[in-house]
Amino acid sequence: MTDADAPALPTTSGSPTTGHRRSPARVLRWVAAASWFALLAGYAATVVATGRTPIDVLAALVTFLVAHPVGPALFVLAYVLRPLVAFSAAVLTIGAGHLYGPGWGLLVVVLGANGGALLAYGLARWLGAGIAGAALGHPRLRGVAARLRTRTFETVLTLRFVFAPYDAVNYLAGALRLRPGPFVLATVIGSLPGTLTFLLFGASIGDLSALGEGRWPTLNPWTLAASAALFVASLAVARALRR
């Protein structure tokens, strides 16, 4: 398919040099910045108010997420809202592996990650091309956009396998108004190798309270080896697909 045959891409309205209206992408950046400020300020205030060290507060949060009945639900909610604050999905997945182990951790991450993917997809679908900005007009993305429209499942699956930027794919899929069914199914399947890799790594990490004593947590060598092996296998598959 040539560029001339590719379906027309959504276009942004207005000019960046005219008017004072802020683009949806800029608004989201401000939301992310404000959310980070609120989180860090709240964390610092908790440390000061309780008189505990930052590591003690982190340990208390870990204990709450594991021991309290609503802990897993709050973790899933944090994962769903993650795209709004531009927080690392890998860090949360490692955390889920450490807190809940590979089994329950996988359930938590699948629910949270795909909820977050749908949130980003829905925002981009609602706001249109304004959230994707100039990326939709990039020459190298025209072919990808065309394939996403005509072969949604296969293209999204491939993008997940080759570790394309997770949130960027979600926003692009929404801006292109792809069918949600194939998008979600491909996301669930294609994200599994990376998810399991980070879950196993998190599960290999021992008690974090060792950090408060100036020691590094112990690592489970077998779980860590399984994570490394899956990571190498995922890279090999990604390299083959990139070709």
Give the pLDDT score at 136.
62
Residue-wise pLDDT for 143-160, tens only, equals: 778 888 889 999 999 889
Question: Would you say 236 and 163 are in contact if contact means Cβ atoms under 8 Å apart?
Answer: no
Question: Would you say 1 and 146 are in contact if contact means Cβ atoms under 8 Å apart?
Answer: yes
Residue-wise pLDDT for 63-87, tens only, equals: 888 888 899 999 999 999 988 887 8
Residue-wise pLDDT for 82-135, tens only, equals: 888 878 888 899 999 999 999 999 999 999 999 999 998 988 888 766 666 555
Amino acid at 27: V
Q: Nearest-CA neighbor of 197 among 174, 172, 226?
A: 226
Average pLDDT on 55-69 reads 81
A 10 A CB-CB count for 219 gives 12
Pairwise pLDDT comparison (35 vs 188), residue with the higher score? 188
- In order, the DSSP letters of 27-91 are HHHHHHHHHHHHHHHHHHHHHHHHT--HHHHHHHHHHHHHHSTTHHHHHHHHHHHHHHHT--HHH
Average pLDDT on 39-60 reads 78
Query: 205 has which bridge partners?
Result: 219
Give the pLDDT score at 23.
67
Q: Nearest-CA neighbor of 206 among 198, 216, 193?
A: 216
Pairwise pLDDT comparison (43 vs 231), residue with the higher score? 231
pLDDT band at residue 188 under the 50/70/90 scheme: very high
Backbone torsions φ then ψ of 219, nearest 5 degrees: -120, 135
Lowest-confidence pick of 36-50, 160-174, 192-206: 36-50
Mean pLDDT over each residue of the chain, to the nearest integer:
80
Question: Would you say 119 and 80 are in contact if contact means Cβ atoms under 8 Å apart?
Answer: yes
Interatomic CA distance for residues 243 and 240, integer angstroms:
5
Give the pLDDT score at 211.
64
Interatomic CA distance for residues 230 and 225, integer angstroms:
9
Is the model's pLDDT at 11 over the cut of 80?
no
pLDDT band at residue 181 under the 50/70/90 scheme: very high
Report how far Cα 199 is from the mean position of its chain's Cα atoms.
14
Interatomic CA distance for residues 163 and 152, integer angstroms:
17
Is the model's pLDDT at 213 over the cut of 70?
no
Is the model's pLDDT at 13 over the cut of 70?
no
- What is the Rg, in whole angstroms, of the alpha carbon atoms belonging to the chain? 20
Interatomic CA distance for residues 172 and 75, integer angstroms:
26
Express as a percent the part of the chain with pLDDT over 90.
Answer: 31
